[in-house]
Amino acid sequence: MRVFIPFIAILLAGCGGGHSFKVNHDYPLPPAIKRLTAPGACTGGGGLAAVSLPVPHYPASARRKGRQGWVVVSLDVTAQGTVNNVAVRQSAPGKIFDRSALRAVRQWVFRAPGGDGLHDCLVFIDYRLGAVRIGQ
């Protein structure tokens, strides 16, 4: 069963243009997504197709401080393809990247999955080495 939205596992460049990024701390160990997933969650999520998928911005303060981390976001996709019930399921370190992740995910739009939509889908957002990657 796929509960992780695999279609968005693409490397996407972070914001900030030509600014160099100097790592100032260790990258926190990412979670096992399968352990965070409830049985029956996001059934059919493997067939989702993105219509609009804005990439989260690397927070400027985290970039300046050389901070890295990740966020696991939970979301529902309505029958029409819009996103709702967006929430941070887990993140590290602290809440440094939460706002950036939530702001972007709330704007996502997918091709309408029909039916009752999809519920409790999980997305891993990686903030590493000054870039943002969606998916593991």
Which CATH number is associated with domain 6-134? 3.30.2420.10
Task: Identify the pLDDT of residue 91.
Answer: 96
What is the model's pLDDT at position 30?
84
User: What 3-state DSSP class applies to 127?
Assistant: strand
The per-residue b/e assignment along 46-64, b for 16 or more CB within 10 angstroms, e otherwise, is: eebeeeebebbbbbeebbe
CB 101 within 8 A of CB 70: no
Domain limits, the chain: 6-134
Categorize the per-residue pLDDT at 19 as very low, low, confident or very high, splitting at 50, 70 and 90. low
The yes-or-no verdict on residue 135 having pLDDT over 80 is yes
> What pTM, to 2 d.p., does this model score?
0.81
Residue 109 vs residues 96, 97, 120, 128: alpha-carbon distances, Å: 25, 21, 16, 25
d(CA 18, CA 24): 18
